[in-house]
Amino acid sequence: MTEPEPRSPNELAQIRTDLAAERTLMAADRSLMAWIRTALSMDSFGFTIFKLLNEFQQKGAALPNSETPRHMGLFLTGLGSLSMIMGTVMYLQNLRELRQIEHYALWRPTFVIAVIMSLFGLFLFFGIIRNIL
């Protein structure tokens, strides 16, 4: 069995830097996935509350305010959309900083899903505003 060729300190430092950048990128991906889960929960919960309270109201249940279903839905879907947009912006800032060390593609799968989720959340929010859902 042959021993690997010894590496210079500069080569070892570069390898460590590359691995550290990879770990940081994976951590940024995991953070964005957590934002996606949070936004999806808020959006789906907001839409569900809106539809449920709206259905109760149509069947004659007394609510404190006639706009309660709309306000609850708007609050939760707005919060979900805002959190998704904030998470995506933070991810882009992290990626911009990492790209100074090593080049990474911007259109990573987690970023694509985050953009889709942002658009979905905004669609729900404005759908509730216009009452088309």
Q: Residue 2 phi/psi, 5° resolution?
A: -95, 145
- Report pTM: 0.78
Taking only the tens place, the pLDDT of each residue in 90-111 is 999 999 888 887 787 878 899 9
Which residue type occupies 59? K
Domain ranges of the chain: 32-130
How does DSSP classify residue 131? T
Which tokens belong to 103?
């080049």
pLDDT tens digits along 2-50 = 777 777 777 777 777 777 878 888 999 999 999 999 999 999 998 898 8
Interior angle at CA 32, CA 93 and CA 132, nearest 5: 105
Number of other residues whose CB lies within 10 A of the CB of residue 32: 24
DSSP label of 3: P
